[in-house]
Structure 1
Amino acid sequence: MTVETQEETFTLDQILAAVTPGHRLILWNDDTNTFDHVINCLVKHLQYTAAQAEDIAWKVHNEGKCTVLEGSYTEVEVYRKILKSEGLTVSVD
């Protein structure tokens, strides 16, 4: 009788993703930024389509906040700084 085994390999990123909790970039509603500005920032910096960005802007408007990115702390923090420099109200969770 022959027993076959299959070796499974993982990258370091896969291992870290499995053991490191993800972080979220939260976009908050404010009375300062226009829908157009929010949409333009999401398209420009996070590569959302205009339709996706508009959906997010409406969710932020109606619910007060929306997660716009999930990833490592380093990645999320980079985008927090970028969107903050555009005047948006964002935080990392």
Structure 2
Amino acid sequence: MATIEKTKVKTSIKEAVAINNEIVLFNDDVNTFDHVIETLIRVCEHTNEQAEQCALLVHYKGKCTVKTGSLDDLKPQCSSLLEAGLSAEIV
């Protein structure tokens, strides 16, 4: 009979909260699919497939989480999305 080891993982509250931020991209009637896809690839380092899926979700659902991470990492990315004319916010 095999022995099962239990491992406890310690995560500080600061670490758990730090990765709990998201950039949410919202639908608009201005930007083309190509522009949204190209911007997600450039700014959020998405693959082409990820960017296409996010663009479709935004179009049909109205919004999509496009990136998660620490607030410090997400702020410049969200700013870049806004500068590109997309509608996004960190939640």
Do both share a fold (TM > 0.5)? yes
- TM-score bin, normalised by smaller chain: 0.7 to 0.9
Residue number in structure 2 paired with 1:65: 63
Residue number in structure 1 paired with 2:45: 47
Aligned AA (1:76)? L
The question of whether the paired residues in 1 share the 8 Å contact of 2:18 and 2:69 is answered with no
Larger radius of gyration: 1
The question of whether the paired residues in 1 share the 8 Å contact of 2:24 and 2:66 is answered with yes
Taking only aligned residues, the RMSD between alpha carbons, in angstroms, comes to 2.0
Residue number in structure 2 paired with 1:27: 25
Deviation at 1:18, TM superposition (A): 2.5
Q: TM-score, structure 1 length as denominator? A: 0.79
Aligned length: 83
Q: Distance in 1 between matches of 2:70 and 2:52?
A: 25
Q: Distance in 1 between matches of 2:17 and 2:27?
A: 32
Deviation at 1:40, TM superposition (A): 0.1
Matched, 1:78 2:76: yes
SS in 1 for 2:68: strand
Structure 1 outlier segments of 4+, above 6 Å: none
